[in-house]
Amino acid sequence: MTSHVESDLETGDVRWHFKVQIPVEFGHVFACGAFAAGTFEPVRDFDASKGDRFVQSKDKASGLPLWVIEVIDADPEARTKTVRVKIAVPVQPTLPPPLAGSPFTPVEFTGLMVTAAHKDGAIAYTAHELRHVCASLFASGASDMQVANQMGHSKIETTKNIYGHLFAQDRAFILKAINQAVGRLQVHEATDEDAA
């Protein structure tokens, strides 16, 4: 994660700017799969390259060369049909041939990281907004009581009022379980014999 702090002289607000890499599962990004739409190409380091002199970008964390490939999202409802996926490996990767009868090669990536950034280059938060971001991250895997404890709320109602929408997955899970249980119930119509 990279960050810097800036202060707004007019309002006095201090903002922290973050460029965050978030680990994600392949299936969460490409729920219907993905296909290579070309080959792996080296990523150009625009700061170091001059004119015809090409310098390949390196991953900041590992120092390995960066490669990019255009990938087609197989989800018919995807807003963006193609994305560029960068990988850091020592040598240029090669793809196997496409499946018989298909012009594309299915691909799957492990260790995916999504970079969360604002269109201007970084996400900016005040200290108060950053507190809400942290609580939201807690809520994605913790109970409302655990979030209340972490946030220092003296009343659970405060947590539920502010972050209750983040616990909707729990409600959806419970509703699904109830519907499945009700679906397994056998309907028994009353007859005159039952009344006797």
Concatenate the DSSP letters of all residues of the chain into one string: -EEEEEE-TTT--EEEEEEEEEE--HHHH-TT-EEE-S--EEPB-TTT-BTTB--B-B-TTT-PBEEEEEEEE--TT-SSSEEEEEEE-SS---PPPPPTT-SSEEE--SS-EEEE--TTSSEEEEHHHHHHHHHHHHHTTS-HHHHHHHHT-SSHHHHHHHHGGGGHHHHHHHHHHHHHHHHHSPP----HHHH-
pLDDT at 194 over 50: no
Does residue 32 contact residue 106 with C-beta atoms inside 8 Å?
A: no
The mean pLDDT value for 33-41 works out to 92
pLDDT score at 107: 92
Query: C-alpha dihedral over 62, 67, 73, 74, to 10 degrees?
Result: -100
Q: What integer is the mean pLDDT of 24-49? A: 88
Q: In this predicted model, which residue has the larger pLDDT, 112 or 62? A: 62
Residue 79 has pLDDT above 80, yes or no: no
150 burial type by CB count under 10 A (0-12 exposed, 13-18 middle, 19+ buried)? middle
Q: State the average pLDDT over residues 180-185.
A: 57
Round to whole Å and give the CA distance between 41 and 50: 19
pLDDT at residue 1 is higher than 50: no
Percentage with pLDDT > 70 across the chain: 59
